Amino acid sequence: MKKLTSLITILLVLVIGAPSVFAVSEAAVLFLLISPHARVGGMGEAFVGLADDVSAIYWNPAGLAFQRGKQFTSMYQPLLPQFNLDDLYYLFGAYRQSYEGLGTVGFNVTYANYGQQIITDETGPDALGTFNSNEYALTFSYATLLSENTGVGLNIKYIRSNLSEVGAGVEKGDGKANAFAVDIGFLQKNLLINRLNFGLNIANIGSKITYIDNAQADPLPTNLKAGFAYIALDQEYNRLTFLADVNKLIVNRHEDGSVDSVIKAFGTAWQNSNYILNFGAEYWYANLIALRAGYYHDPDGKVKYLTIGAGLVYSIYQFDFGYISAGDSHPLSDTMRFSLTIGR
């Protein structure tokens, strides 16, 4: 069970570009950190200070407070596309609706499929059967305005991890586990100067997830994201926005394998310098065509790459494309994201 968990976690570290290989043993259910929208993927995954569409449920639920009407989005992304494995993929779907005088509510589903695994035992490599590994999360969101320029948001999240259908030797339990978590978001518009936004989101705050027993429980990937968005140009036919985010995994595991509680980790996780920086830009012409570019930089994990993207709007439909231009040897090389958004 531990070996399978490590293999899947390594896969997710490669896909996500997590802070470092050390993160393999830091937290479980790392699929919660996968970027879920092609639009944001084209901007270097910088969005917490803008959060102006339904994908704000993931990036910063406070952004929902400023949105009106109904909107739905969905995305498909292959995992490790250079290996051409059809059963490794990620799906994301989200919906939001505003209610006058009450705020905005939303719902989203995140699903990661890791393919078919082979069951063996300690006696040899002979296959005893197969099973499919996957993980998913269901999220309910609520956001409201505190003032004309200040919004707050809250997510309540159910997480299900199905890594295995059988246990390992004499250990208790199997490869299935549940967890609950919350996300807290804040968004301030026109901060200090006009058209400058500041956003903050603390995601995946919850108790540890247990596959075997409490002594071997793993923490959730609690993540703090903060960032700015500056709308440099806002004309009838031209709109240009610059974005910058910083990410920090709020998890602290000691050399003896013990892990701080999520509350304690907010004070101790700063001992390591694992920060991820995201920079992006987005240009819209007449709210019909968008061009995007970004840069993802993880100094400690030595992960860095450029991103590009584009968007096209027709009536109530928006089609977005994002591409990672990492080198041939990079696990994220040639990763493409496609999103469809319905509603404005």
What pLDDT was estimated at residue 189?
Answer: 97
- Structurally, the chain folds into a number of domains equal to 1
Backbone angles phi, psi at 3, to 5 degrees: -65, -45
Q: How many residues can be counted in the chain? A: 344
What value does the CA radius of gyration of the chain take, rounded to a whole number of Å?
A: 20
| Secondary structure of residue 30 in the 3-state scheme | helix
Taking residue 233's Cβ as centre, other Cβ atoms within 10 Å add up to: 12
Token pair belonging to 16: 């996500």
What pLDDT was estimated at residue 24?
Answer: 43
What CA–CA distance (Å, rounded) separates 161 from 5?
Answer: 10
Cα 236 versus chain centre, distance: 32
CATH code assigned at 289: 2.40.160.40
What CA–CA distance (Å, rounded) separates 134 from 335?
Answer: 20
- Under 8 Å between Cβ of 33 and 16: yes
Q: pTM of the full predicted structure?
A: 0.87
Contacting residues for 124 by C-beta, under 8 A, at least 6 apart: none
What pLDDT was estimated at residue 214?
Answer: 73
What pLDDT was estimated at residue 162?
Answer: 87
H or E stretch covering 14: helix 2-16
Contacting residues for 129 by C-beta, under 8 A, at least 6 apart: 118, 119
Token pair belonging to 250: 């709020």
Cα 45 versus chain centre, distance: 9
Give me the residues paired with residue 154 across strands. 142, 184
HSE toward the beta carbon, residue 315, CA cutoff 13 A: 2
pLDDT in tens, the chain (344 residues): 444 554 555 555 555 554 443 344 478 888 999 888 999 999 999 999 999 999 999 999 999 999 999 999 999 888 776 666 778 889 999 999 999 989 999 999 999 998 877 666 666 565 566 778 899 999 999 999 999 999 999 999 999 998 876 655 555 557 788 999 999 999 999 998 999 999 999 999 998 888 777 767 788 999 999 999 999 999 999 999 999 999 999 988 777 777 888 888 888 888 776 789 999 999 999 999 999 999 999 887 778 899 999 999 999 999 999 998 876 656 667 788 899 999 98
| Secondary structure of residue 57 in the 3-state scheme | helix
Contacting residues for 158 by C-beta, under 8 A, at least 6 apart: 137, 138, 139, 178, 179, 180
What pLDDT was estimated at residue 21?
Answer: 37
- Under 8 Å between Cβ of 325 and 305: yes
Range of the domain at 109: 2-342
